Structures are given as structure tokens and as C-alpha cells.
């Protein structure tokens, strides 16, 4: 259908959107780059001129930098592992015919509709509070000492909260993928003598490869920049300061825009390294 004429017409009509998107992306990026080479302290003298790579060196030399990169990667990795494994399990479960399937499916999706801030607050106050939280009551019921989740197991708690939020997304995508599996393939495998476990390993899991890739890539994009969950729970303390949170602290708490911008550039670099790494591992699943 794509004749010469229709192609150029298509280009013309796409142009406004492309220009808008490009501007949307380029303006903040250029401004970040611009500020990252300046000493800019809005409340302490404003623009104090160009400083070259000073901000970059200071940001990376700070004792908080490498731990924040590590925290970011641990959260992303932990959430990915939990959502993919549980997502596959839940998708398999929801694919089984059962009573009340429609309601159960909606319930499973529900967490995705809750705002990150709200869900983190609910987890923090209703579940993880060491005095009044449900977990505390549960622990006391069994005679154990309640755990002060967010300070003693801060990383695990954040991973738990974020996983809870993203599990519906993973489940939903994996469920549609499972439903698109040709049932005759499973029947053929059954006749070929494959046990349920073998059918899962040899037929279902390879079929899910592409969907898992999509889940991993999309979630990574969003997880690299999680913020609200940390802001309303630990405020970056107890080892949960991610790169995003560190930048936030540099810009808003220390009021050092230049330093924060340099951190932003590092965040872009980190995101690209992670993306390149992921594409290497799972990207081949996307070519069909």
C-alpha cells in the first residue's frame, strides 16, 4: 500500500507530532546538560558561572554515589525477578477455568490503578507500621517481636511495595500471551508424553519469551526512576537512596542545581547501560 505518494503524505502528517516529541525530549535534555556545567545555587547566590566538569567529578566522588547506583539496581532487579516469576504463576492460575474468573481478574489488576504515593502510604501505615500495622499484629499473634519493616528490612519492604504495584502489569501481559498459545500444541506435547512440568518448560515458557521480554523492558524503564514509594516511606534512608532520589536531594534539599543536573546525566548513562545490557540478554526474543 505504501506508494511513493502516500509515504510522503504520511511523513508530512507525522511531522508536527515528531517535532513536538523531539522538542519535548530535547529541551529538558539540553537544559540538564547546560546546568550540569554550571555552579548554580538558587538560594545561595544563583548562577555562579561555568565550572567545567567540576559537578561531574563531585557527584561521582561523593560517598553516596556508588551505593545509590547499587540500590537502584537492586530494586530494579528484585522487582523484575518477583514480578516475572509471580506474574507467570498468576497468569497460569488465571488461565485455568474457575468460578468467578471475571471478578478475580479485575481484583488482580486493581493494584495497578492505585497511585504509587497512595499505595506506598497504605503499605507503610496499614501493613508495615511496627505498632499498628497488620504485620505487627500478625507477628504478635504468633508471639514474635514485631519487625520495624521500613528501617530493619527497608530494601525488602520497598521491593515488596513496588512489586505489588507492578505485578498486575506483568500478570496481564503474560496472561494474554498464555491465552494466545495454541491449545493443540499443548495437546500434542501431552500425547508426546510430556509431564505438566515438561509442558511448562518446553512449550509454555518459550512461548512466553517475548512477553517476558516486553515486561522486563517496560518495567525497567519505569523502575529506574521510581521515586514516590521512597519519598513517602524511608525518605532515602536505611540504604534505599536510589540514583533518582540522590539527584532529588542534591537539587531540592541541597539546592544545588548544577550538581543534580550532572547526576541526571549519570542517570541517563546508567539507564542506557542497563538498556544495552537487557537488549543483549533478552532482545533477541523480540525478532520473530
Residues at the site binding other proteins, with contacts judged by CB under 8 A:
182, 184-185, 187-195, 198, 202-203, 206-207, 209
Rg of the Cα trace of the chain?
Answer: 24
Whichever of 148 and 285 has its CB closer to other proteins, that residue is 285
**Cβ 68 to other proteins shortest distance, Å:** 39
C-alpha cell read off for 16: 508536527
Closest listed residue to residue 87, CA positions, set 212, 181, 207: 212
CA separation for the pair 59, 27 (Å, rounded): 23
**Cβ 101 to other proteins shortest distance, Å:** 17
**Cβ 226 to other proteins shortest distance, Å:** 33
**Cβ 209 to other proteins shortest distance, Å:** 7
Closest listed residue to residue 215, CA positions, set 56, 46, 81: 81
Closest listed residue to residue 233, CA positions, set 166, 152, 151: 151
Asked if 170 and 222 touch (Cβ cutoff 8 Å), the reply is: no
Asked if 82 and 156 touch (Cβ cutoff 8 Å), the reply is: no
Whichever of 3 and 183 has its CB closer to other proteins, that residue is 183
Whichever of 125 and 195 has its CB closer to other proteins, that residue is 195
Whichever of 53 and 202 has its CB closer to other proteins, that residue is 202
CA separation for the pair 173, 91 (Å, rounded): 9
**Cβ 169 to other proteins shortest distance, Å:** 25
C-alpha cell read off for 4: 511513493
Whichever of 208 and 257 has its CB closer to other proteins, that residue is 208
Whichever of 187 and 253 has its CB closer to other proteins, that residue is 187
Closest listed residue to residue 242, CA positions, set 258, 257, 222: 222
**Cβ 193 to other proteins shortest distance, Å:** 4
Amino acid at each position: 500500500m505504501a506508494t511513493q505518494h502516500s509515504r510522503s503524505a504520511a511523513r508530512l502528517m507525522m511531522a508536527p507530532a515528531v517535532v513536538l516529541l523531539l522538542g519535548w525530549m530535547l529541551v529538558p535534555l539540553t537544559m540538564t546538560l547546560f546546568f550540569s556545567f554550571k555552579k548554580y545555587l538558587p538560594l545561595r547566590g544563583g548562577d555562579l558561572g561555568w565550572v567545567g566538569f567540576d559537578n561531574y567529578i563531585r557527584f561521582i566522588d561523593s560517598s553516596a554515589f556508588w551505593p545509590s547506583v547499587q540500590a537502584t539496581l537492586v530494586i530494579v532487579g528484585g522487582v523484575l525477578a518477583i514480578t516475572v516469576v509471580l506474574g507467570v504463576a498468576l497468569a497460569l492460575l488465571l488461565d485455568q477455568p474457575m468460578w468467578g474468573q471475571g471478578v478475580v481478574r479485575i481484583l488482580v489488576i486493581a493494584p495497578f490503578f492505585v497511585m504509587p504515593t497512595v499505595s506506598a502510604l497504605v503499605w507503610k501505615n496499614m501493613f508495615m507500621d511496627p505498632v499498628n500495622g497488620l504485620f505487627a499484629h500478625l507477628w504478635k499473634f504468633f508471639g514474635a517481636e514485631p519487625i520495624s519493616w521500613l528501617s530493619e528490612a527497608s530494601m525488602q519492604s520497598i521491593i515488596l511495595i513496588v512489586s505489588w504495584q507492578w505485578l498486575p502489569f506483568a500478570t496481564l501481559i503474560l496472561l494474554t500471551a498464555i491465552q494466545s498459545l495454541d491449545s493443540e500444541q499443548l495437546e500434542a506435547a501431552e500425547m508426546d508424553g510430556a509431564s505438566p512440568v515438561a509442558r511448562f518448560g518446553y512449550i509454555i515458557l518459550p512461548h512466553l519469551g517475548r512477553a517476558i521480554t516486553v515486561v522486563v523492558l517496560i518495567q525497567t524503564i519505569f523502575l529506574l526512576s521510581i521515586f514516590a514509594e521512597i519519598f513517602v516511606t524511608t525518605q532515602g534512608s536505611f540504604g534505599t537512596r536510589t540514583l533518582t532520589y540522590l539527584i532529588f536531594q542534591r537539587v531540592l534539599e541541597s539546592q544545588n542545581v548544577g550538581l543534580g543536573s550532572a547526576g541526571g546525566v549519570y542517570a541517563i548513562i546508567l539507564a542506557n547501560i542497563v538498556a544495552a545490557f537487557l537488549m543483549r540478554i533478552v532482545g533477541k526474543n523480540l525478532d520473530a
